[in-house]
Amino acid sequence: MRPKYGMANVIARSALVLAVSIAAASQSVAQTPGAESQKVVVVVTDENGVAVSGARVQLQNAAAAHANSFRCETDFSGHCEFAGMAAGAYDLRVEKGGFYTSSLTNVQAGNVQASATANIDVTLSHQQAVREVVDVVASGPAIDPAQIAAEDELTGTEMVDIPYPGPHDYHGALNFIPGVTPDGFGQLHVAGAEGYQTLVLLDGFNVSQPTNGQLAVRTSIESFRSLEVIPSREPAELGKGSGGVVGLNTGMGRDQYRFTSTDFVPAVWTTQGRLQAQWTPIDTFSGPIIKGKAWFIDALDGEFDDNVDTSLPVGKDRDYVWRADNLAKVQGNLTNRNIVTASFLSNYYHDKYSGLGFLVPQTATPTQVETAYFGSLKDQYYFHNGTLLETGFGVTQYDTTLRPQGNLPYIQLFFSAAGNYYLHEDARARRTQAITNLYLPPQEWLGRHDFKVGFDVDRLELQRAVSAPADLIRAAGRAGAGADCAAV
């Protein structure tokens, strides 16, 4: 016999079971607040506390064997944010070209006692030359849609390891970047453009020679962290370089003192019985001023060349060329969010008989002296919301001097020259520069958008003093004894 109201009892019992289930689920959620709403913020800096932008960050659930990985890229302030993460343990991997990869295991995204946001600080160390490691990883995409400009880069370790002839100068390393071609005067041309069409930046400051736009500034190859060349599609902020951009990025000391000395023994050889010598010493000293707070680097680079022209008589066949370059740079972290950097670069070049050759003897050549000085001060401040404010001030000065070997008239013959050089010149070019850049936090709307605003103000000063004797003589007939000469 069927019980009365059977259908009603079934419905009542089902409703009771559903209510108990909902209550149990609510109690479970209440016990694990934010289990599916964890937020992970990764902050990536280098060993000097400077934010590392463009670093690739990957998080993968350590418990799930086939879990999907979460990826993002750090912004200008070194921040990378993951939202909607489930609480638990994750494996973290951070990598960027020119840095050693950092891997962390069992990173907690949140738990019962923790808040819904986990902050993870990661330090990436720049690669150094004293390490032999082979990493086999999956190849990246052939085309990176996030890379706006066409850019080629050499890291500091690659520049040191490149086997090229002559002095270890970064001008030689640039030849190994596609699209960079040297000319007969040692100047470099990016994508076939003239030298004055290329913008040269040293740590973000314009150091192109103001009068001719040449790449004249020099620094030790061991002072570099990277060397970048943008031959095309340069951003609007680099619009001064219509033919391309060369970026010279120097390094900084660490919490360990380091001293290196290269080529400290001169090279000596003979050419057709004539003794020659060359010396290209490189000395670099770096380390902490206050560990964890302030660091320094001093990079000295020198060269001496004893050039011999065997077509000239003995005793009048030598040209002595020497140069010295020194970069002194310090960085102080006033706070975790405020970093100040100051640098001073000095260049000196001396050529006793500039242009010496078979048709131009020592007496007809000038002594050429060139100096260059660059000083800069830069301040970087990181706001809590990820905004980065960068301000800087720099001064660059180039001096060129030409001195004749004596006061005799300069004689320009048909194929050769005689007497003393005709031109006495003193030239100076100075650039005073102020820069300000504001890097805003990235915005997500139909993709990721990075915003940057700023300004760059230059003031140029040019001075030139020229003195040329009036008795410049040019041969009116064939060169030789008794030739008629006419004063010009």
Between residues 353 and 7, which one has the greater pLDDT? 353
**Mapping DSSP to helix (H, G, I), strand (E, B) and coil, where does residue 438 land?**
strand
Q: Answer yes or no: are the C-beta atoms of 84 and 37 closer than 8 Å.
A: yes
199 lies in some domain:
yes
Start-to-end CA distance of the chain, whole Å, equals: 139
Burial 302-329 (b: 16+ CB within 10 A, else e): bbbbbbbbeebeeeebbbebebbbbbeb
Which of 21-25, 93-97, 293-297, 363-367 comes out lowest in average pLDDT?
21-25
* Shared domain check, 336 and 366: yes
Residue 350: the pLDDT is 96
Chain center to CA of 231: 15
Top-confidence residue, 471 or 437: 437
Please check the confidence at residue 295 and state whether its pLDDT lies above 90: yes
Say yes or no to pLDDT of 3 above 50. no
pLDDT at 41: 85
Q: Is residue 387 part of a domain?
A: yes
pLDDT tens readout for residues 442-467? 888 887 788 889 989 999 999 888 87
Q: Is residue 313 part of a domain?
A: yes
| Statement to judge: residues 155 and 283 lie in one domain | no
pLDDT at position 35: 45
Burial class (CB in 10 A: 0-12, 13-18, 19+), 118: buried
pLDDT value, residue 487: 36
Instruction: Print burial letters for 138-175: b (CB count within 10 Å at least 16), e (below 16).
Output: eeeeeeeeeeeeebbebbbbbbbeeeeeebbbbbbbbe
Of 18-22, 81-85, 417-421, the one with minimum mean pLDDT is 18-22
Residues 61-82, mean pLDDT to the nearest whole number: 77
Domain boundary among 214, 248, 282: 248
- Domain with residue 43: its CATH number is 2.60.40.10
Mark whether 272 and 232 lie in a shared domain.
no
Of 471 and 167, the structure prediction assigns the larger pLDDT to: 167
Q: What is the pTM of this model?
A: 0.75
Examine the domain organization and report whether 389 and 302 are in the same domain: yes
- pLDDT value of residue 471: 56
Q: Which of 124-128, 167-171, 208-212, 359-363 has the lowest mean pLDDT?
A: 167-171
The residue behind tokens 């949140």 is: 110
Residue 93 lies in a domain: yes
**CATH code assigned at 214:** 2.170.130.10
Residue-range definition of the domain harbouring residue 178: 150-248
pLDDT of 135 higher than 70: no
3-state helix, strand, coil in the chain (%, to 5): 10, 50, 40
pLDDT given at position 32:
42
Number of domains composing the chain = 3
167 with 92, same domain: the answer is no
Average pLDDT over residues 93-120: 74
Mean of pLDDT values over 404-424: 85
The mean of the pLDDT values for the chain is: 79
